[in-house]
Amino acid sequence: MTDRHGAEASPLGRTVSYRDTYAPELLFPIPRQLKRDELGLREDALPFVGADLWNAYELSWLNPRGKPVVALARFRVPAETPRLVESKSLKLYLNAFNQHVFADHEAVAATIAADLSAAAGGAVGVEVAPLSRRPQRAFGYPEGVCLDELDVAIDRYQPAPELLSAGGAEVAETLYSHLLKSNCLVTGQPDWGMVALRYRGPAIDRAGLLRYIVSFRGHNEFHEQCVERIFCDVLARCQPRELSVWARYTRRGGLDINPWRATSLALAADERMEVRQ
């Protein structure tokens, strides 16, 4: 019997006809709790706060005179919402705007916010920026220590939290790696990303952390679920007093997903784009 993950009936892995007129019913929500149960997390006692930050690069609609408008968009889905939105369904939903007439970009943002909030089960923040207004994007590397040049032997390619350890004097630091790779929960296609940890507590063993990050290389799970698994494993094994974990995944289908989980809202993620995005 296949484990339930909530995406069994989603558009992922299936040939789907594209629609070019507004169709909010295309959005496919997935209960977060199905995978959180694997981590022993209770819906009413989550050990983290945070959000999933989506960037959309393929958004277009028609103005009242029938002229196309193209824009960038950003969506912020709070981690406490009961549902995430499957990414292919979001792509199909956004493409359905292509031949729909909207008064202006504020109307587009309000429509998306209402639809995503209904799908996620909580208020989703939406920003829409027409390219005619010349929106800018900030790129950068985390202000911390990159682990990728550590000379370590690796032979584990499924999540291995036992590789994590910490000890000694308390430190406050940021560690990051570009070697994160996981696979789509349904299709098995590779997902590439950068993951960063900002923490205060006993010093985390850097070699063990890098080996742990690479252990996701053969793991099938959605972006949001991988980050929650990393957060919970580091919290349990290394026992930091403060912890923030965020990932910046490369885009697929005109979307990139960037989950962030932390012990406090004060530990906000660095929202600069990763160089591969």
Q: Which residues are catalytic?
A: 184, 191
- Contacts for 268-273 with beta carbons within 8 Å, 24 or more apart? 268/244, 269/50, 269/53, 269/196, 269/244, 270/140, 270/142, 270/143, 270/196, 270/246, 271/53, 271/138, 272/138, 272/139, 272/140, 273/55, 273/137, 273/138, 273/139, 273/140, 273/248
